[in-house]
Structure 1
Amino acid sequence: MPNARSSTLEGTNMAKQDNKTPLISVKHLYKVFGPNGAKVLEQVKAGKSKDEILTQTGHTVGLSDINLDVYPGEIFVVMGLSGSGKSTLIRHFNRLIEPTAGEIIVHNEDVMKLDQKALQNFRRHKMSMVFQRFGLMPHRTVLENIAYGLQIQGVAKAERHQKATEWLDTVGLSGYQSQYPSQLSGGQQQRVGLARALCTDADILLMDEAFSALDPLIRSEMQDQLIELQEKLHKTIVFITHDLDEALRLGDRIAILRDGVLVQQGAPVDILLNPADDYVEAFVKDVNRARALTVETVMKPQVVRISADTIGEAVAEMRKAKDDYGYYVNDDGYQGVITQEALENVEQEDYSKAIDASLLEDVPAIPSDALLEEVIPETLDNEHPLPVVNAEGDVEGRLSRSTLAEVLSEHHNQDEGDDSKKSASKKELAA
C-alpha cells in the first residue's frame, strides 16, 4: 500500500469534516424491489429481515435506511459481499435506480425531484461513471470513446478531440488514439474508461467495481494511477468494491454494507482496528496490518521533549517529566534520546556545559507516513520508543514495542481485556 497517500490522509479528512458541507448526502434511503415496494416498505421499517420479507412477500430489500455523507475531494469506498447492496446504492446517486423512499442531495439539490430534462443535464455534467466491464463502444476508436461524453454535451469536435487527447496522455495511452477497444488489453480498456469519465470534467466520479475484472498486477497499477490522479485532480470519488485490501488502499473513508444495511463507516484505520460487529471483523481478520497501517495511525503522543542548551537546563526539564528519558531537540531538529541516568552521571560543576553527542543514545527517528512493516526491525532493536517525525522533521509522536505488539496482535480487538494474551503477544513479537 502506498504510504504517500496515507501520510496526508488524517489531515485531509479533518479538513473535509471541518468543512461540514458534504457534496453528497444520503438520507433514510430505502429500496425494495418488487411491484408493491412502497407497501412492503412498512414491513422493512418494522424490522423484518431481508430473508423474512423475501419469503413472505416475494420482494427483495436492496437498501434499508442508508444514511451517509460524501465530502468534496475524498475517495469514499462502499464495500460488501455480493448482494450487500453496494451497486444498488451507487446507482441511486444518478437515479439509474429509483428509490422506494429517501433523499439524495447532490450540490444542495435533491436528485429525486429533478424532472427528466434536469436529470439528463445532471448526468451529463455533474457525474461520470466507470464500469466494471469497461462499457466501451466497440465501433468507436479510443479517442472517440474518450470524447463521447463531451459529444453528448454538445462540445465541438475539435475541442472534444483536443481534451480527449490530453486525457489519453494523462492515463498513459499516447499513440493509441486510433485503436479500437478489441485491440487493447483489459488494463488499457479500463484506462480508456477512466479517461472518458474524467474528460467530461464532472465533479463526481462513480466507480462500480471498476478494477475487479483486471488481473492482480494490472489492478494494482490502476489503483496506483487512480491515487496519482486524485492527488492532482481532487475529484469526489465514490468507489464500489468487494475487496477490503482495495478499500483500505484507496479509501479516505469506507462504508460497509450487509444485506442492504450500513453496518459501519469510518476511516480505514477505524474499520481495521475497531470492527463494529462479527461481519466486519470477518472482513478485517486476515488483513496484514503491518502493510495496511502507517505509523501515524497508531503512534502515541511524544514523551518529554528536551530542548535545553545546557546540561543543567536539561536536568531541570527532566526532573519535571514523568518519564526517565526524553527526545533531545535543537535548532537542527531531533538529535537523539537523552536519559535521566546519563544526566545523573554528570558532575554538577559541568552543568553549564552544552549538551553534546556523548550524552545521547542513537535512537533513530521514523517518518509518520511509513508503513508499520517498514519500521518493525528498528522498533524491536531499540529499548526506547522511536520518535515519529512529520514531513518537516518535527517530532509529533512515538512508537514503542508494546504499541506495535498490541496493534499487530490478532487478539487486539476481541481480547483487549485479556492482559495475559497481550503479554504473550508482545513476547512473541519481541522474540
Structure 2
Amino acid sequence: MNSKLLESVASKFGTPVYVYDEAKIISQYNRLKNAFGSQEVKLHYAMKALSNINVLKTLKNQGAGLDAVSIEEVHLGLRAGFEASEIMYTPNGVAFSEIEEAVALGVIINIDNLSVLEHFGMVFGSLVPVCIRLNPHIMAGGHANISVGHIDSKFGISIHQLRHIQRIVDHYKLHIVGLHMHTGSDIVDADVFLQGADLLYEAATHFPELEFMDFGSGFKVAYKEGDFVTPIEEIGLKIGESFKNFCKEYGRELELWFEPGKFLVSESGVLLVSVNVVKQTTSTVFLGVNSGQNHLIRPMFYNAYHRIENISNPKGHKKLYSVVGYICETDTFGYDRPISEAKVGDSLAIYNTGAYGFSMSNQYNSRLRPAEVYVRDGNAFLIRERESLEDIIRNEIDLSKSTTAATQIHEDE
C-alpha cells in the first residue's frame, strides 16, 4: 500500500485506523504453501493474530483451516463459514467444560496437559479423536514472551513424559490422530526447527493411528530494512523432504500441517495515526499521536520494532523524533526515529501491525478501539466501525439505577 492510498484512507475514515491489504495476505499464504515443493501442506491460520471475519473469509477462500485457542475463536471461525473439521482447537488452562463444548461442536481437539488428557480419556474414551501437543524443549528464537517450546513453558506435554502419555492412551484406548508442537515465534534457525521435527517423528512411532502432524509456526517477518527473517524456503524444502522420508518409515502417508499467524497477516497491516502535538524538551523532540499502547501494545510488551513513516510528507527532510502515544503510561512507539519533518495534523503510518495489533487492543484509559479498513483490488472498505462511548459502558450496571434484585453476601457466611 502506497502513501497516497494510505492518506486517502486516513482522510476518508479518520485516524486512528487499522488498514489491511488483502493482496499481501494472499501472497504470503501462497508463498508458504509453495515453500514445500511437491509436498502437500495444510495451513491452519492462527486466528489469534487477527480475527476479523473478512480476513478469515479471505483465508478460507484460499483453502486454509483455522487454529483456535479459545471457544470464542471457535465460534468466530464457524461464523466465518469454516467447517468444524477445518478448525483445530488448542486451549491452555481452560475449564474442562470448554473442551466439552468444543467436542460438541465437532472441532479437532488438541490437548497439552497430562491431567486433562486423562480426564478426556475418562469422559470420552475412544469415541472422540484427539491430538496431543508436545513440548520439545527447544528455544527457536524470539522474545521470551513468545518462545513457548522451552522447558519452563506452560505449553505442551514434555517430550520426556512420552511414556506417561502412552500409559494414559493405552488405559483409556484414546484415538490419537495427530501430534503437534509449537516452539514459539521468530524462528531464526532452520536446523533448530528441524531438531524439533525429528523429536516429533520419533514420538510418532508410538502412535499407529495418526492422520496428521502439526509443526506449529513462528515464522519471522522483517520489521525493518535488513532484518533477519525465517528462511521459509529452506525450512520448507528440508521439512518436506524429511516428512516424506518419515511417512515411508511410518508405513503410510500422513498430512503435514502448519499454523501460521503473524507470517500471513503482519506485513498486510498498517496503523494510521495523526500527530496531535510536536513537543520539544531539553533532550528529545516528541511526536504525540492520537493512539497509544491501547491500540498497539507490541513495542511496550515485546520491545518490538515497527517502522514509522510520515505519509503526509514522505519526501521531506528527516529529523529525529520519538513517537509517543496519548496513554497515561510510558507509551512509546519508537525512540529517535528519522522521520520526515512533521507538524500537527500530519498522518503517520506504523507498519507491520496486522498481527497482534487490533487483536491485543484494549480500552485502557477508557479510550476507544480504532476502526478497521480492508483494501481489496485497490478499494478501501470499512470492516469494523470505530468504538463509541456507548460500547465502553454497554455492559456496565449502575447500582443506583439498577432494578435487578441483589443477593446479599455477609462476611460470616
TM-score normalised over the length of structure 2: 0.26
Specify which structure has the higher proportion of helix. Answer: 1
Larger C-alpha radius of gyration, 1 or 2? Answer: 1
